[in-house]
């Protein structure tokens, strides 16, 4: 039997399995929609939509034929649409609690874009429905795989239209269309940012003190930065120590959220406790690592920007320190992995030597650090601090 015949047998077997399981998948689709919506609403989120689907037989067959020996893991899928981007991390956590997640399948589509590009933004992963999740009157078997996608309503609209217009087009589209798609993606990304900012300011106008994390990720971080006295003091200390101007820094909000999330501080109370524990290490790490001659956040990605401090810089370096010392991945950060590896060495050195001078450590680090503007991870040699 040649390879083609073997592939056809595999395709036939997979199609037969699909036909056998289709009725069960359709029953699970309705249950998943209802269960996930109930869980997300119970967690305090108001603005969202849950849609489950079963991959069509035609789509399933096309995918199997592309790689007959590869398992199709998205026959059953669910899409979580949030009206506010700041709600997505919390909703993801809720969904994770309902599944046995394969973390190796986790993908952030925005992380695959070049640093200067805009486009399809979505988090997706695969999980198993745990024992009892599928249990009904007819005792459904367990182990069904479910693909989860999380994105904002604006990103969902953009991606659906782009898919229909660009990828289903029989002809190569004009370059002007590509430019308009990129421009639209940038505008929608800014619109998502604006919606979160609007909600945060509305909530701040309603309350004079932080209570819980009902405003989503961006809400609780913003309230902590605004109302916590120690956070404001650390901003001033770091700004003075680095001797850089204070003001608005483009991209600081997204970068700040990425490191807070990496530190595992997904709620207001967790952020407050983590800040109290690691703020001194964060101060020392900022003094040791932050550039005072180039862009303070994205030295390598945008070295042409002048250094400038910003509200929340203390939380940023504190969360960075906590994540680095814990060995957490900072895959959402725009700082190159090679630079983060250097920061990790510095953070662990400062953590293990609490009496070490941050200024002396800075001097040692500057002698071994890769040049400003380095983006290729291979150009960051391993470093050691004496």
pLDDT in tens, 242-286: 998 887 787 888 899 999 999 999 999 999 999 999 999 999 999
- At 112 the pLDDT is 46
Q: What is the dihedral of CA 130, 132, 138, 140, to 10 degrees?
A: 10
**Between residues 157 and 128, which one has the greater pLDDT?**
128
Rounded Cα distance, 193 and 71, in Å: 37
What is the model's pLDDT at position 90? 87
Q: At what angle do helices 216-227 and 175-206 cross, to 10 degrees?
A: 50
Q: What's residue 121's pLDDT?
A: 63
Question: pLDDT confidence of 3, banded at 50, 70, 90?
Answer: confident
- Nearest-CA neighbor of 362 among 286, 300, 295, 289? 289
Q: Among 262-266, 292-296, 365-369, whose mean pLDDT is lowest? A: 292-296
pLDDT confidence bin for 202, thresholds 50/70/90: confident
pLDDT band for 88, please (50, 70, 90 cuts): confident
pLDDT of residue 171: 62
- For 318, the token pair is 């504190």
φ and ψ at residue 345, rounded to 5 degrees: -60, -45
Question: Distance between CA atoms of 78 and 81, rounded to whole angstroms?
Answer: 10
- Stated length of the chain: 386
Looking at residue 157, its pLDDT comes to: 74
Strand ranges in the chain using DSSP code E only, listed in sequence order: 48-54, 76-82, 100-108, 123-128, 145-152
Residue 159 binned pLDDT confidence (cut-offs 50, 70, 90)? confident
Percent of the chain exceeding pLDDT 90 equals: 39
Residue-wise pLDDT for 218-239, tens only, equals 478 988 888 888 998 999 999 9
- Confidence category of residue 360, pLDDT binned at 50, 70, 90: very high
Supply the mean pLDDT for the chain: 83
Region 107-132 average pLDDT? 65
Rounded-to-integer distance, Cα 283 and Cα 260, Å: 15
305, 247 Cβ separation under 8 angstroms: no
pLDDT of residue 190: 79
Confidence of residue 326 (pLDDT cuts 50, 70, 90): very high
Supply angle C-alpha 111, 187, 40, rounded to 5.
Answer: 60
- CA neighbor of 298 nearest in space, from 380, 189, 373: 373
Residue 243 region by backbone torsions, left for phi larger than 0, else alpha for psi between -120 and 50, else beta: left
Burial (0-12, 13-18, 19+ Cβ within 10 Å), 303: middle
Both tokens of 78, joined, read: 């669910």
């Amino acid at each position: 039997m040649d390879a083609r015949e073997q592939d056809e047998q595999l395709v036939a077997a997979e199609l037969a399995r699909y036909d056998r399981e289709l009725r069960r998948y359709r029953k699970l689709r309705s249950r998943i929609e209802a269960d996930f919506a109930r869980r997300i609403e119970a967690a305090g989120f108001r603005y969202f939509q849950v849609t489950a689907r079963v991959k069509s037989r035609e789509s399933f067959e096309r995918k199997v034929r592309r790689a007959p020996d590869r398992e199709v893991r998205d026959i059953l899928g669910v899409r979580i649409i949030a009206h506010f981007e700041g709600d997505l991390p919390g909703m993801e956590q809720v969904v994770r609690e309902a599944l046995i997640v394969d973390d190796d399948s986790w993908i952030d589509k925005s992380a695959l874009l070049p640093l200067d590009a805009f486009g399809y933004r979505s988090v997706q992963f695969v999980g198993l429905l745990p024992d009892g999740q599928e249990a009904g009157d007819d005792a459904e078997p367990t182990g069904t795989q479910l693909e989860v996608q999380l994105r904002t309503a604006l990103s969902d609209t953009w991606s659906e239209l782009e898919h229909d217009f660009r990828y289903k087009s029989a002809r190569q589209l004009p370059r002007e269309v590509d430019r308009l798609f990129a421009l639209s993606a940038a505008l929608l990304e800014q619109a998502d940012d604006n919606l979160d900012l609007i909600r945060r300011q509305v909530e701040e106008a309603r309350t004079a003190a932080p209570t819980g994390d009902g405003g989503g990720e961006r809400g609780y971080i913003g309230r902590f930065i605004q109302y916590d006295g120690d956070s404001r003091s650390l901003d001033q200390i770091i700004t003075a120590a680095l001797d850089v101007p204070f003001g608005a820094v483009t991209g600081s909000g997204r970068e700040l959220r990425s490191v807070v999330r990496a530190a595992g501080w997904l709620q207001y109370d967790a952020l407050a406790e983590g800040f109290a524990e690691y703020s001194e290490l964060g101060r020392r790490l900022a003094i040791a690592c932050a550039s005072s001659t180039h862009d303070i956040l994205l030295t390598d990605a945008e070295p042409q920007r002048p250094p400038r401090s910003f509200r929340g810089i203390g939380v940023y370096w504190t969360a960075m320190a906590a994540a680095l010392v814990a060995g957490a991945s900072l895959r959402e950060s725009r700082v190159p992995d090679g630079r983060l590896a250097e920061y990790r060495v510095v953070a662990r050195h400062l953590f293990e030597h609490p009496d070490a001078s941050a200024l002396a450590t800075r001097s040692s680090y500057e002698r071994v650090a890769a040049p400003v503007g380095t983006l290729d991870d291979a150009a960051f040699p391993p470093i050691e601090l004496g």
